[in-house]
Amino acid sequence: MSSQAPIAQNIQQIKSQLPATCKLIVVSKYREVAEIQTAYASGQRMFAENRVQALLERKEALPTDIEWHLIGHLQTNKVKYIAPFIAMIHSVDSFKLLQEINKEAAKNNRIIPCLLQLHIAQEETKFGLGVDELDAFFTEFGSVDLPNIALHGLMTMASNTDDKEVIHTEFALAQSLFQDIKAKHFADDARFCELSIGMSSDYDIAIAHGSTLIRVGSAVFA
C-alpha cells in the first residue's frame, strides 16, 4: 500500500501554481473514499464526479461541507437526485436539460449554478454543444425565463493529444467564445464569470488561457 501523504502534497503543489483567480476542483471519480478523505483532511473542499450514482454514494460517505460538482453527462431523469445539493453542474449540453434543472431547482427552492459544456475537441465521443449550436441555444435561452438556474460560464475539454499547440489553440478558442458570450448575453450579469478548463495533463495551458476552475484527478491521486 502506498502512503497517502502524496495526495496532500500533490494538492499543495498544484495550488501553488494557481493565480488567485483560479480554483482547484479535485476530480474524485473512481477513487476510494479513504483517498477522498485524505484530500479533505488537507483542506480541499471542492470535489467533482462524472456519474450521478457515484456522486450520491460519496456524498453519503463523506463530510457534509464538501462542495460537489458534476462534470459528466447528465440525463434529464437523474437531475432530481442531485438538485437538492449540487454546487455546480458543468455539463449542461442542451436547452432541454437546462429547463429540467430549472424545474427541479424550483422544487428545492434553489438557484443552481450551471456551466454550458462546449465541444471543441477533435474526438467524436466527447459531449457538449458544438460551436455552431451556440446561436440556437442562446435564442431559446433568451426567449424563456429560467429563474432557478444561473449560467455561470463555460466548461470544455481539449483534445486528448500530446501536441501542446493543439491544446493551446483549443483553449484560446474557449476563452474567446467565453468573452464573446459574456459580452453578447451576460453584459449585465456578473454571475457569468467561470471558465472551467484544464485537467491533469493540460491545466498549465488552461491557466494561460484564463481558466477559473481546473478539474484535476490523476495528478492529485497519482
Ligand X SMILES: *Cc1c(COP(=O)(O)O)cnc(C)c1O
Positions in the binding site for ligand X (CB under 6 A) = 27, 29, 50, 71-72, 157, 199-201, 215-219
Return the number of the residue (161 or 200) whose C-beta is nearest ligand X.
200
Q: Write down the least CB distance from residue 171 to ligand X, Å.
A: 14
Return the number of the residue (33 or 219) whose C-beta is nearest ligand X.
219
Q: How many CB atoms lie within 10 A of CB 86?
A: 25
Q: Write down the least CB distance from residue 158 to ligand X, Å.
A: 10
- In b/e form, how buried is each residue of 18-27, taking b as 16+ CB within 10 angstroms? beeebebbbb
Return the number of the residue (139 or 218) whose C-beta is nearest ligand X.
218
Return the number of the residue (98 or 216) whose C-beta is nearest ligand X.
216
3-state helix, strand, coil in the chain (%, to 5): 45, 20, 40
Q: Write down the least CB distance from residue 49 to ligand X, Å.
A: 9
Return the number of the residue (119 or 215) whose C-beta is nearest ligand X.
215
Q: Write down the least CB distance from residue 147 to ligand X, Å.
A: 28
Q: Write down the least CB distance from residue 128 to ligand X, Å.
A: 10
DSSP 54: H
Residue whose entry in the numeric block shows the C-alpha cell 472551467: 196
CA distance 72 to 90: 8
CB-based burial label for 147 (10 Å; 0-12, 13-18, 19+): exposed
CB 46 within 8 A of CB 24: yes
